[in-house]
Amino acid sequence: MAAKVYKNLIGGEWVESRFGQTFENQNPANTKDIVGIFPKSNKDDVNQAVEVAATAFERWRLTPAPRRGEIIYRCAQILQERKEDYARDMTREMGKVLKETRGDVQEAIDTAFYMAGEGRRLDGHTVPSELPNKFAMAVRVPLGVVGMITPWNFPMAIPSWKIFPAIISGNTCVIKPAEDTPLSTLNLVRALMDAGLPPGVVNIVHGYGPEAGAPLLEHPDVRAISFTGSSEVGRIIGQAAARNFKPCSLEMGGKNAIIVLNDANVDLAIDGALWGGFGTTGQRCTAASRVIVEKGVYNQFADKFVSRAKAMKVGAGIDEQNDMGPQINQQQIETTQKYVEIGKSEGAKLLTGGNRITAGGLGEGFFWEPTVFGDAHGKMRVAQEEIFGPVISLIPTDSLEQAVEISNGVAYGLSSAVYTRDVNKAFKAMRDLQTGITYINAPTIGAEVHLPFGGTKATGNGHREGGIGAIDFYTQWKAIYVDYSDRLQRAQIDTGE
Ligand code: UN1
């Protein structure tokens, strides 16, 4: 069967790349399965999309926000109807198991309903003026055309975190989705178009970073950039945006830790660490790649955890029997392999896993065993650097204080978790963990869309997605003064004395 051919979306039209180049979207569970052929776009495609988005902005910004919200609400309903189909498409192109891809679509649905409601809120503030017969208020205004560059690990949820708050606020956008997972973003935007979104409000340009991402970033009419991906690429994007004074939201890596204290419910912590560490095959920026365990329960935790990791079923995500799917691509599996070697050479004890899986018909995919290192310490590279694969390091610790220090002792600061039944310890941890998200008695993954999502240090540059922080990024403040005194009043000078 010939692979389906997909196109860019520019001004409401499905169009090929201007130079007719394409790339293949492969199934990471079986690379012989080609999910689709997508346009490989370059600067000319980007320029056209930005031009169309700039024109669309002039109408969209004047469309009342509640009307914009109704379109997003309808989109949420369409996504609900198509949830299963879109989850299956996502598993095929991204690899993660069906229950997780259903969750990814659900995250877009949740974001759509939440942001649809913002159409009737988008609140600013009114404050008193210091002068008589004068009115003062601050209102939110959109930025214009926003450029978005999104990753493959949450190929519908993350674009939804950016697109819905951007368009409810009156912006238009051009999005370049990850080349490994272009279909899920296309599905999301298709639902928006079917919900009645006017042409040109959301445009998709498929392709690779240097050819399609870079021109989007540099385009003078793109007023802001939102990026989710590696800290390495984020640094380049942040610098480019700064040169042009463009607001830029960066969501990047993580090296998240679960802390398990002696008084914890150990079985619950094991469930959490398995889900946090091996969910999405460890390919979440929120993944728990370190588990810091107090010595009183360390052996018990390690024994049970390793036997549970060994029992996990790895295979194609489309088969509901499987617990864990493949990694996304060859490069990612090579990174995992590299870190397994590094861990061994640093003296961490390989307790289970450590190999690529090729038996049982998995040789055409990027499958890796759930891997656990024991007796690691916080300074090892496997405990410092983001791996983005199914590799967890267990680190023994003497106390909560030491565990917090280890947790904080990395370049990143996205998510953290503590398992304890001691309320005093829980509150100390909540205060002292230097991450944007902290969980008590739950793993490091599973953020809800109406709370701020983002992190400290090398994880981000201070912006938040999710929650109202997203609206803050996609709007700017305008202060408005209305003087109805019919005379010249001078602020700071006419003080009434
Ligand atoms: C990511 O890994 O980039 O909190 C996003 C979570 C998900 C989102 C993860 N809701 O794990």
pLDDT digits (tens, 9 = 90+) for 141-179: 999 999 999 999 999 999 999 999 999 999 999 999 999
Q: Do 109 and 240 share a domain, yes or no? A: yes
Q: How remote is the CA of residue 416 from the centroid of ligand 1, in Å?
A: 13
**Looking at residue 1, what is its pLDDT?**
61
**Looking at residue 497, what is its pLDDT?**
61
How far CA 329 is from CA of 93, 275, 287, 296, 335, in Å, comes to 11, 21, 18, 39, 10
Q: Which two tokens stand for residue 170?
A: 């009156």
Is 445 within the bounds of a domain? no
**Looking at residue 2, what is its pLDDT?**
77
Q: Do 293 and 191 share a domain, yes or no? A: no
Domain containing 315 — which CATH number?
3.40.309.10
Q: Do 106 and 228 share a domain, yes or no? A: yes
Domain holding 377, by residue range, is 256-440
Q: Do 292 and 436 share a domain, yes or no? A: yes
Is 488 within the bounds of a domain? no
Mutation pick for ligand 1 pocket among 150, 154, 283, 450 (CB with most ligand atoms within 8 Å) = 154
Is 173 within the bounds of a domain? yes
Is 485 within the bounds of a domain? no
How far CA 445 is from CA of 104, 185, 215, 287, in Å, comes to 13, 22, 33, 6
Spatial distance between the Cα atoms of 469 and 452, rounded to a whole number of angstroms: 6
Which residue's CA is the nearest one to ligand 1's atom 3?
Answer: 285
Q: Which ligand 1 atom is at minimum distance from the Cα of 279?
A: 11
Inter-residue contact 18 to 212 (CB < 8 Å)? no
- Convert the pLDDT of each residue in 126-143 to its tens digit: 999 999 999 999 999 999
**Looking at residue 19, what is its pLDDT?**
86
Distance from the Cα of residue 167 to its chain's centroid: 18
**Domain total of the chain:** 2
Q: How remote is the CA of residue 272 from the centroid of ligand 1, in Å?
A: 15
The average pLDDT across 388-414 equals 98
Q: Do 262 and 130 share a domain, yes or no? A: no
Q: How remote is the CA of residue 3 from the centroid of ligand 1, in Å?
A: 30
Is 389 within the bounds of a domain? yes
Q: Do 313 and 199 share a domain, yes or no? A: no
Is 34 within the bounds of a domain? yes
Q: Do 130 and 182 share a domain, yes or no? A: yes
Q: How remote is the CA of residue 417 from the centroid of ligand 1, in Å?
A: 14
Which residues are tagged catalytic?
A: 251, 285
CB atoms within 10 A of CB 405: 14
Q: Which ligand 1 atom is at minimum distance from the Cα of 284?
A: 2
Inter-residue contact 253 to 410 (CB < 8 Å)? no
Q: Which ligand 1 atom is at minimum distance from the Cα of 453?
A: 4
- Convert the pLDDT of each residue in 181-208 to its tens digit: 999 999 999 999 999 999 999 999 999 9
How far CA 398 is from CA of 62, 84, 348, 403, in Å, comes to 60, 46, 18, 8
Which residue's CA is the nearest one to ligand 1's atom 2?
Answer: 284
Give residue ranges with CB within 6 A of ligand 1: 107, 153-154, 284-286, 445-447
**Looking at residue 313, what is its pLDDT?**
98
Q: Do 311 and 427 share a domain, yes or no? A: yes
Domain containing 139 — which CATH number?
3.40.605.10
Is 405 within the bounds of a domain? yes
Q: Which ligand 1 atom is at minimum distance from the Cα of 285?
A: 2
Q: Do 223 and 273 share a domain, yes or no? A: no
Calculate the average pLDDT of the chain.
Answer: 97
Inter-residue contact 259 to 429 (CB < 8 Å)? yes
Q: Which of 75, 78, 9 is nearest to 38 (CA)?
A: 9
pLDDT bin (cut points 50, 70, 90) of residue 236 is very high
**Looking at residue 496, what is its pLDDT?**
67
**Looking at residue 495, what is its pLDDT?**
81
Q: In which residue are the tokens 């368009």 written?
A: 167
Q: Do 227 and 343 share a domain, yes or no? A: no
CA angle 225, 230, 234 (to 5 degrees): 35
Q: Do 169 and 92 share a domain, yes or no? A: yes
Mutation pick for ligand 1 pocket among 453, 459, 464, 465 (CB with most ligand atoms within 8 Å) = 453
Q: Are strands 256-260 and 288-294 parallel, antiparallel or unpaired?
A: parallel
Q: How remote is the CA of residue 296 from the centroid of ligand 1, in Å?
A: 31
Check whether 110 has a pLDDT greater than 90: yes
Is 74 within the bounds of a domain? yes
Helix axes 98-118, 157-168, angle to 10 degrees: 10
19 or 463, greater pLDDT:
463
Check whether 477 has a pLDDT greater than 80: yes
The average pLDDT across 39-52 equals 98
Spatial distance between the Cα atoms of 99 and 307, rounded to a whole number of angstroms: 23
Q: Do 232 and 305 share a domain, yes or no? A: no
